[in-house]
Structure 1
Amino acid sequence: MEWTQIYDPMHSLVFSALLAAIPIIVMFYLLAVRRTAGQIAGVMALISAILVAVLAYQMPVNLAIIAAAMGALYGIFPIFWIVITAIFIYNLTVETGQFEIIKDSIATITDDRRLQALLIAFGFGAFLEGAAGFGAPVAISAGMLVGLGFDPLYAAGLCLIANTAPVAFGAIGIPIIVAGQVTGIDVMKISAMVGRQLPFLSVIIPIWLIVLMSGWKAMKEVLPACLIAGISFAGVQWYSSNYIGPELPDILSSLACIIALTIFLRSWKPASIWRFENEPPPTLAINRSVLTFGKVLKAWSPFIILIIMVILWGLHPVVAVLDAVTVKWLVPGLDKMIVQVAPIVKQATPMAALYKINWLSAAGTGLFIASIFTAAVLGVGPGRFISIFAETFKQLTKPFITIPSVLGLAYVMNYSGMTSTLGLFLAGTGSLFPFFSPFLGWLGVFLTGSDTSANALFSNLQAVTAQQVGIDPIIAVAANSSGGVCGKMISPQSIAVATAATGLVGKEGDLFSFTVKHSLVLAVIVGIMTYVQAYWLNWMIP
């Protein structure tokens, strides 16, 4: 029997919106106030969403549970499958000692702290965000900077702020992929739109970092290097997001940044070598003589293989062949059982519920095959291969709960009509909505610590609201991700990772104070950019 959504169960849109916001409030309270673990907050928010859907929105219990289960399944496959295979490749390089060579190959390029920050916090951090994400970029790059002699607070803060540029395309494009799955909008269009927003920040961030670190005068000494880093990163980020897809912008743009900056620094040096006052001696020992081309190439080979496999898996002819074995089924008990009505849709429309397991064409499968080639190159035998994979899964036990929970929450909110209620309420901002749109993503990432989770929570809300106020949903969904990146640096999870990596545990408040103003200013910039693109530069919308 069909069930028809209702969007104003309290007969007051304000109170109905407050009711629909309860799961989000639960998550905010547990994460920001109680500092509860992400997996616990995710499960509790999901439970609260089911309760609100059933008790207030009169959604049948079976529909609410099936919707949550469908979202959780999408969280496990393909999302978690991408996460675990990406981090598995990274762990293979760590366990075989190759990652130390990767770090050393970057650290030997320059002794200037400003340039090291550009290479490691901005360039290499973005590479790690693209390959692994989920805390690895800040943890690794901040630890490297401390090892090189950086002040711990600056090391952590700089890496958090630098992580702004790549987050939307992190972990092989998972945030964009999730946004497409939740909204039904073509992933390539979302990728292209984000790629027409974030490059503007990518040019600014290197300059921003160095000014924060050393002041305007010292920044001017390395302005050419800042421009090389920012423009090379932004240019490739724009091209790859618009013409290749959401999987590779971070990896390709970070490599372009690192290579361009390295080549530039071979023929250009700043007028003086800048270091922190009273900085501790470096603890990261570097033996330059052993860094032969062959060793460096071998160390970077896992990520070279990763890039090749992701490119292959993104080619349409390859996808068409691999998709031949995709398993698809209409979710029983949910497909066409829920009806959307006006004003969300023009006429009553049953909601489809299709789940598919593209087990061969999924990006995670391509990465897993890349891990097999990586093991062969690095000399990792079958026993050790399985052992490292098991350790990787153990490492990701909490995300294995958190990601399905948050996606389950998103699906319950979407299928119950709660997201539509919030969208109708936000539509009251009218023509100003494009400015506030990025702040929803900012709030989502602050709450969850993940652009992926924020997109799962709010992407459909963005699309619904955009339709209500008369702007293209693509720009609002993209703004959710672009604005979300500005909230990453102040999320409790990011702060915890950064303080743990730099020995600042117990000083989370100091680090939050260090980053919060930058987070807000960058979010305002994205808001202004979105507003301008929505009304005056709408030719930029794909």
Structure 2
Amino acid sequence: MLLPRSDLFVQITDPIFGNLLLSALCAALPLVLLFVLLGVFRMKAHKAALASLLLSIVLAIVGWQMPVGQALSAAAAGAFYGLFPILWILVNALWIYKLTVATPWFEVLGRTIRSITNDLRILSILIAFCFGALLESLAGFGAPVAISAAMLMAAGMKPLKSALVSLLANTAPVAFGAMAAPIIALNGVTGLPIHDLAQMAGRQTPFIAVLVPLILVFMVDGKRGLKQTWPVALVAGLVFGLAQFVTSNYLAVELTDVVAAVVTVAAVLTMLRFWQPREIIGVTDAASHDSAVASAGPTGRRTASVSASSVTSTAPVTGSTAVMEKTTRPPARQVWKAIAPYLIIMGIFSIAQIPAVKAWLGAVGSVTFAWPGLDVVTAAGDPVAAQSFKLDHIKATGTLLMLSGIVTMIMYRMSIRRGLAIYWQTLVQLRWTIVTVTSVLSLSFVMNLSGQTNSLGVALATTGVFFAVLSPVIGWLGVALTGSDTSSNSLFGQLQVAAATQTGLSPVLMAAANSSAGVLGKMLSVQNLAVAAAAVGMAGEEGTLFRKLIGWSLGLLVLITALIVLQSTPILGWMVP
């Protein structure tokens, strides 16, 4: 007869006086504290995250009866995951950006971007929505937000506006980001066919993609921006959404965002050859970040710049208003030099996704190990997956970004000493971001391993068919907490399937809902707020970003929840594979 291990910790679903509802309310306290400290008391993100982590550890030990050593080990495991792969990605992505800033080519990049169009509203679509989606498809984990925000600043957009636009634009591609990692993770934890999950997500996220460009132009220039640029915004959203649907349903799920981003860029650039907004809302100089208006002719084609007296008084971005002329595109050789770092990134990541190369990198650079000090099983006796780590140190996104940075240094003929100095400056700039990210991931791991997350989820699953309304909220909370749709799917995917089975709902629908609705929580996740704030030089202002984005996040969550509820009924049930 086998005796139970003395160090084994068995999760308890209802540890607080044997009451599931009370246990769930207590489990939610760390999340509530985190959002209240950020949104109401405007506390620095790293302090709010540390306070929430401390509360979750206390609850794990006192409420969920987790041994002290295992609770601390769970926090350490989360911190490690925060460092690798998430911060490993962020540090190297920001380092590449700072390498470009240290060269004359960064200003050339700004002039190149503005030569496509001077209109910041259209640039927000091209850079944050399209190029950001391409980066999300290859990298993810904050890199698209950091790089697109930096590029918008190079084009002359204000730092706060750049961060907000980049964060909101990053919602559209996330469900299929990092070569469909969220869908692959969902398949891994649920056992549902990956093709069915991809099809279902591809019949949900396009509805959000259609709206995002319209919101972006409104965010940049208010009602005037929406009135003047809705045609190109609508085209971008429709093309992106349609490409997501077709690729995820009929082609390869891994290529969903790559195809959607490339096709949308082509569609927008083609449209700009035949159509221009009535006014061009842009900047006179990237350094000044001022806004300007240039008139266009009655046909919509741009004409010569007008006198200062004809400039409208309602400036789209804070700052002075001035007249501008179209920026002259730099010579082709300079353009290639300016965009080379981003081409290098896409090239290296594309090569790494070639099946033979990907298999080789996995074989020579993958280590799986059990985190020391943890021995946790669920109430059913199954080991909790978060105790095991797979360290892909060579093919990791951060490692590929570092390789991209090294190639960039070689191309720019930058010395090793200077490159290392810039790397150190990057670490110093991100010091509080590092504390924030590691603290939040520690919080996530403590809640998951102690059983707090399970208590919260099981309580939500007892609501019967009303679970169709709560299911998207679970995904939203998961991403808002972890900052990753992949992590949220790993955290709640199986819970969604179990609850769907109990309530008679479609497991495929509820599992996909976790991913599709989860993307709307990413703009509010502390990690991504910290990434955006650091990228635009606003470290410590994460609370400001949170307050300005929460309305958009909740509004879009309501819309996709309505879609999912309808898909759970005969009205739109035909959309479920």
Give TM-score, length-normalised by structure 2: 0.75
In the alignment, is the contact (CA less than 8 A) between 1:143 and 1:502 conserved in 2?
A: no
In the alignment, is the contact (CA less than 8 A) between 2:14 and 2:455 conserved in 1?
A: yes
Counterparts of 1:457-472 in structure 2, within 5 Å, are 460-461=491-492, 463-470=494-501, 471=505
In the alignment, is the contact (CA less than 8 A) between 1:139 and 1:501 conserved in 2?
A: yes
Q: Which residue in 2 is equivalent to 1:306?
A: 345
Q: Which residue in 1 is equivalent to 2:236?
A: 229
Q: 1:136 aligns with which of 128, 146, 152?
A: 146
Q: Which residue in 2 is equivalent to 1:385?
A: 419
Q: 1:451 aligns with which of 477, 483, 486?
A: 483
Q: Which residue in 2 is equivalent to 1:82?
A: 89
2:555 partner letter: V
TM-aligned CA distance change 1:318 to 1:27, over 3 Å: same
In the alignment, is the contact (CA less than 8 A) between 1:118 and 1:226 conserved in 2?
A: yes
Q: Which residue in 2 is equivalent to 1:281?
A: 321
Counterparts of 1:519-534 in structure 2, within 5 Å, are 519-534=553-568
TM-aligned CA distance change 1:538 to 1:350, over 3 Å: farther
Q: Per-residue deviation at 1:421? A: 0.8
Q: Please give the alpha-carbon distance, in whole angstroms, between the structure 1 residues aligned to 2:353 and 2:167.
A: 30
Alignment of 1:425 onto 2:459: yes
Q: Per-residue deviation at 1:250? A: 5.7
Count of paired positions: 524
Alignment of 1:349 onto 2:382: yes
TM-aligned CA distance change 1:187 to 1:141, over 3 Å: farther
Q: Secondary structure at the match of 1:328?
A: strand
Q: Please give the alpha-carbon distance, in whole angstroms, between the structure 1 residues aligned to 2:372 and 2:220.
A: 56
In the alignment, is the contact (CA less than 8 A) between 1:210 and 1:219 conserved in 2?
A: yes
Q: Which residue in 2 is equivalent to 1:408?
A: 442
Alignment of 1:107 onto 2:147: no
In the alignment, is the contact (CA less than 8 A) between 2:162 and 2:536 conserved in 1?
A: no
Q: Per-residue deviation at 1:541? A: 6.6
In the alignment, is the contact (CA less than 8 A) between 1:138 and 1:163 conserved in 2?
A: no
Counterparts of 1:166-315 in structure 2, within 5 Å, are 166=173, 172=178, 176=182, 194-210=201-217, 222-238=229-245, 253-270=260-277, 275=293, 277-279=313-315, 280-282=320-322, 287-288=327-328, 291-315=330-354
Q: Which residue in 2 is equivalent to 1:331?
A: 371
Q: Secondary structure at the match of 2:233?
A: helix
Q: 1:97 aligns with which of 99, 104, 122?
A: 104
Q: Per-residue deviation at 1:99? A: 3.1
Q: Please give the alpha-carbon distance, in whole angstroms, between the structure 1 residues aligned to 2:510 and 2:206.
A: 17
Q: Secondary structure at the match of 1:349?
A: coil
2:9 partner letter: W
Q: Which residue in 2 is equivalent to 1:345?
A: none
Q: Secondary structure at the match of 2:321?
A: coil
Q: Per-residue deviation at 1:361? A: 2.2
Q: Per-residue deviation at 1:426? A: 0.3
Q: 1:119 aligns with which of 110, 126, 133?
A: 126
TM-aligned CA distance change 1:384 to 1:256, over 3 Å: farther
Q: Secondary structure at the match of 1:108?
A: helix
2:378 partner letter: Q
2:313 partner letter: E
Q: 1:193-214, CA deviations, whole angstroms, 9 ceiling, x for partnerless residues?
A: 5454322221222234456777
In the alignment, is the contact (CA less than 8 A) between 2:475 and 2:492 conserved in 1?
A: no
Q: Please give the alpha-carbon distance, in whole angstroms, between the structure 2 residues aligned to 1:98 and 1:251.
A: 26
Q: Which residue in 2 is equivalent to 1:376?
A: 410
Q: 1:4 aligns with which of 4, 7, 10?
A: 10
1:29 partner letter: V
Q: Please give the alpha-carbon distance, in whole angstroms, between the structure 2 residues aligned to 1:539 and 1:303.
A: 41
In the alignment, is the contact (CA less than 8 A) between 1:38 and 1:402 conserved in 2?
A: yes
Q: Please give the alpha-carbon distance, in whole angstroms, between the structure 2 residues aligned to 1:174 and 1:34.
A: 37
Q: Please give the alpha-carbon distance, in whole angstroms, between the structure 1 residues aligned to 2:409 and 2:94.
A: 14
Q: Secondary structure at the match of 1:267?
A: coil
Q: Please give the alpha-carbon distance, in whole angstroms, between the structure 2 residues aligned to 1:401 and 1:496.
A: 12
Q: 1:46 aligns with which of 49, 53, 62?
A: 53
Q: Please give the alpha-carbon distance, in whole angstroms, between the structure 2 residues aligned to 1:7 and 1:321.
A: 42
Q: Per-residue deviation at 1:125? A: 5.4
TM-aligned CA distance change 1:360 to 1:156, over 3 Å: closer
The answer to which structure has the higher helix fraction is 1
Considering only aligned residues, what root-mean-square deviation do their CA atoms show, in Å? 4.3
Q: Secondary structure at the match of 1:329?
A: strand
TM-aligned CA distance change 1:215 to 1:177, over 3 Å: closer
Alignment of 1:62 onto 2:69: yes
User: Tell me, which stretches of 5 or more residues in structure 2 are unaligned?
Assistant: 282-292, 294-311
In the alignment, is the contact (CA less than 8 A) between 1:464 and 1:473 conserved in 2?
A: no
User: Tell me, which stretches of 5 or more residues in structure 1 are unaligned?
Assistant: 343-347
Q: Secondary structure at the match of 1:355?
A: strand
Q: Which residue in 1 is equivalent to 2:301?
A: none
In the alignment, is the contact (CA less than 8 A) between 2:38 and 2:45 conserved in 1?
A: yes
TM-aligned CA distance change 1:102 to 1:159, over 3 Å: same
Q: Please give the alpha-carbon distance, in whole angstroms, between the structure 1 residues aligned to 2:184 and 2:32.
A: 22
In the alignment, is the contact (CA less than 8 A) between 2:176 and 2:257 conserved in 1?
A: yes
Q: Percent identity?
A: 36
Q: 1:226-282, CA deviations, whole angstroms, 9 ceiling, x for partnerless residues?
A: 343223333454567676666x76666445433432232123335666755343335
Give TM-score, length-normalised by structure 1: 0.80
TM-aligned CA distance change 1:38 to 1:307, over 3 Å: same
Q: Per-residue deviation at 1:435? A: 2.5
TM-aligned CA distance change 1:539 to 1:58, over 3 Å: farther
Further displaced range: 132-141 or 301-310: 132-141
TM-aligned CA distance change 1:384 to 1:252, over 3 Å: farther
